[in-house]
DNA sequence: GCGCCGTAGACTGTAGGCGAAAACCAATTC
DNA sequence: GAATTGGTTTTCGCCTACAGTCTACGGCGC
């Protein structure tokens, strides 16, 4: 019985508050890193970033702290922050974990998804195929991310989603040059995955997703040579 | 050709440096939380903690920042830090993830472990059994953690280990009252796991570890009633 | 007596500043 | 000519101070 004013929800836009500065700094830095405006190994000087973003050093420090725990930057004591440099081994290990998490998400989605969720997946899939047909690479990549996020949402495990989100973003960062290459085949596999989920076939959904993410690993290794 | 001084290694104790203050504050707070000296839901006042630890607010803030990203505290804007309150649903989801990660670790351990690693596991197992026989609950719990950590180490995937470490600690925090109950049966399962790893049987190792962690979930649900 | 408003207190968010450690560079010595 | 050493500069780590925001309590009107 909260709404004594009689105002329906959503009509008042919750008057947008800027939110903690550190979070916006975090977002800005993450953007700069993922877009490679800040290159791996680069030394991040606090005062420089602070001046560039028009804030004090404190929010920058807190943002760097968070980026550090999430693996985007390395914080060497008494030396400062450096953009993390992924090794081949680490990238490979990350892919292994991603495969694991995504496969589990597919299984849970198959177990839990309702018809509404499946319809949403099909919509995303259709959109993605259109993007590929139109050679809209950026759009296709974005839709691919949204598709996987939707599967994760249908899995209904917030903890899993949190971890997978972290891992996924880093994988995409490492593999940006590669990920853009995978076009049509990727969406065919998505279709198969939807079918398995709709059939509530946990085993098949797991297997398809595993195979799907493993294809990415393969492409990377092929490219390396 | 580094040692031009002729001094043998190890004679100079590398003069222990205190390390960043924020890290020690982080450790201290984590200890206080896991031991329930700071209870779930409790409001953590920065200046209070700072005074209590004999430092300024800054290191405390950075430690809280890290604890926040790792899920130990919730940081409500303009309100401060609160020790995270786990819900039943979240605990269940964490267990699901833990099962997943540990099972994968077991599989990788079976694929990669050498005879030295297997011997180390057997040593830990024997120690654990002795602790159980001696009704040394704390010792048994500690050895259980070390056993799982060793399996993770043998898996040889640093990323996986990092995630599993986080998840494991939180699971232990939630389930401390329960975990202490599982005595002998747990170590029997450990023995079976070692056998599977020694046989390089990835499937069986996965299955055993999955069953092993699922037992914990079961005990929790039984206890809830 | 009940509810609303205003004020005071407490805490967080952000900024600025000081001391110290590390890196860099040039002069010096072997 | 190469290594070392001393000084200088940059940058981090931490502390202190101030402004903004939320909460709680007491007075006031109904």
Cβ-in-10-Å burial (0-12, 13-18, 19+) of B32 comes to middle
Q: Which residues contact B29 (CB under 8 A, 6 or more apart)?
A: B38, B49, B63, B64, B67, B72
Given this model, what pLDDT does residue A139 score? Answer: 87
Of the candidates A193, A207, A188, A197, the one whose C-alpha atom is nearest the C-alpha of residue A115 is A197
Given this model, what pLDDT does residue A183 score? Answer: 73
Write the Ramachandran bin of B44: left for phi over 0, alpha for psi from -120 to 50, otherwise beta. Answer: beta
C-beta separation of B65 from A65 below 8 A: yes
The predicted-structure confidence for B86-141, as pLDDT tens digits, reads as follows 998 999 999 999 999 999 999 999 999 889 999 999 999 999 999 888 888 888 88
From the CA of B63 to the C1' of C15: give the distance in Å: 20
Q: Which of the nucleotides in strand D have any atom less than 7 Å away from a protein CB atom?
A: 4, 10-17, 20-23
Q: Strands, E, within chain A: which ranges?
A: 43-44, 73-76, 80-83
Of the candidates B24, B29, B180, B208, the one whose C-alpha atom is nearest the C-alpha of residue B109 is B208
Neighbours of B171 (CB within 10 A): 25
The answer to whether A81 CB is within 7 Å of strand D is: yes
B62 vs A65: CB contact, 8 Å cut-off? yes
Minimal-distance CA residue of chain B relative to A19: B77
Q: Return mean pLDDT, chain B.
A: 87
Give how far A105 is from chain B: nearest CA, Å: 10
From the CA of B90 to the C1' of C9: give the distance in Å: 37
Rounded to a whole number of angstroms, the distance between the first and last alpha carbons of chain A is 64
Highest-confidence segment of B19-28, B111-120, B134-143, B152-161: B152-161
Q: Does B149 touch chain A (CB under 8 A)?
A: no
Cβ-Cβ pairs closer than 8 A, A with B, add up to: 66
Minimal-distance CA residue of chain A relative to B156: A93
Q: Is the pLDDT of residue B27 over 80?
A: yes
Return the CATH class of domain A21-83: mainly alpha
Q: Does B27 touch chain A (CB under 8 A)?
A: no
Q: What tokens does B108 get? A: 């990788």
Measured CA distances, B150 to A15, A143, B146, B161 (Å): 52, 40, 6, 10
Given this model, what pLDDT does residue A41 score? Answer: 92
Q: Is the pLDDT of residue B19 over 80?
A: no
Neighbours of A105 (CB within 10 A): 25
The answer to whether B59 CB is within 7 Å of strand D is: yes
The answer to whether A5 CB is within 7 Å of strand C is: no
C-alpha torsion angle, residues A72, A78, A79, A80 (rounded to 10): 40
Given this model, what pLDDT does residue B181 score? Answer: 65
Measured between beta carbons, the chain B residues lying within 8 angstroms of A61 are 62
Least confident of B28-42, B66-80, B121-135, B166-180: B166-180
Length of chain B: 225
Model pTM above 0.75: yes
DSSP secondary structure letter of residue A91? H
Given this model, what pLDDT does residue A2 score? Answer: 38
Largest CA distance in chain B: 68
Q: Is the pLDDT of residue B162 over 50?
A: yes
**Edge-first strand listing for the sheet containing B80-83:** B43-44, B80-83, B73-76
Alpha-carbon distance of B143 to B149, in angstroms, equals 10
Neighbours of B90 (CB within 10 A): 17
Q: Which residues contact A74 (CB under 8 A, 6 or more apart)?
A: A68, A81, A82, A83, A84
Alpha-carbon distance of B72 to B169, in angstroms, equals 10
C-beta separation of B57 from B46 below 8 A: yes
Measured between beta carbons, the chain A residues lying within 8 angstroms of B77 are 19-20
Alpha-carbon distance of A211 to A225, in angstroms, equals 22
Nucleotide nearest to B56 (CA to C1'): D15
Task: Write the CATH number of the domain with boundaries A88-224.
Answer: 1.20.120.530
- Sign of the Cα torsion B69, B166, A82, A29 reads negative
Residue ranges of domains in chain B = 21-83, 88-224
In this structure, the strands spanning B80-83 and B43-44 are antiparallel
Q: Is the pLDDT of residue B142 over 60?
A: yes
Low-confidence ranges of chain A (pLDDT < 50): 1-7, 9-15
Measured N-to-C along each axis, helices B88-112 and A158-179 cross at an angle, to the nearest 10 degrees, of: 50
Give how far A223 is from chain B: nearest CA, Å: 23
Of the candidates A27, A18, A19, the one whose C-alpha atom is nearest the C-alpha of residue A63 is A27
C-beta separation of B136 from B181 below 8 A: no
Alpha-carbon distance of A121 to A130, in angstroms, equals 14
Give how far B180 is from chain A: nearest CA, Å: 24
Alpha-carbon distance of B118 to B110, in angstroms, equals 10
The residue lying closest to nucleotide D13, measuring its CA against C1', is A78
């Amino acid at each position: 019985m909260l709404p004594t004013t009689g105002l329906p929800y959503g009509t008042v836009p919750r008057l947008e508050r800027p939110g903690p500065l550190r979070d916006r700094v975090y977002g800005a830095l993450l953007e700069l890193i993922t877009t490679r405006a800040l290159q791996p190994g680069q030394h991040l000087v606090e005062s420089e970033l602070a001046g560039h973003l028009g804030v004090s050093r404190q929010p920058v420090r807190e943002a760097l702290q968070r980026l550090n725990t999430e693996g985007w930057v390395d914080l060497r004591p008494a030396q400062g922050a450096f953009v993390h440099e992924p090794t081949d081994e680490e990238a490979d290990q990350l892919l292994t974990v991603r495969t694991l998490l995504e496969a589990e998400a597919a299984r849970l989605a198959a177990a839990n998804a309702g018809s509404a969720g499946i319809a949403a997946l099909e919509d995303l899939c259709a959109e993605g195929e259109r993007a590929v047909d139109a050679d809209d690479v950026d759009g296709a990549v974005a839709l691919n991310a949204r598709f996987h996020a939707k599967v994760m949402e249908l899995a209904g495990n917030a903890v899993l989603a949190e971890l997978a989100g972290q891992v996924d973003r880093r994988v995409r960062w490492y593999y940006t040059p590669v990920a853009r290459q995978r076009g049509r085949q990727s969406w065919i596999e998505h279709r198969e995955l939807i079918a398995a989920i709709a059939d509530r076939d946990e085993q098949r959904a797991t297997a398809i997703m595993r195979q799907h993410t493993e294809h990415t690993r393969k492409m990377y290794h092929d490219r390396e040579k």
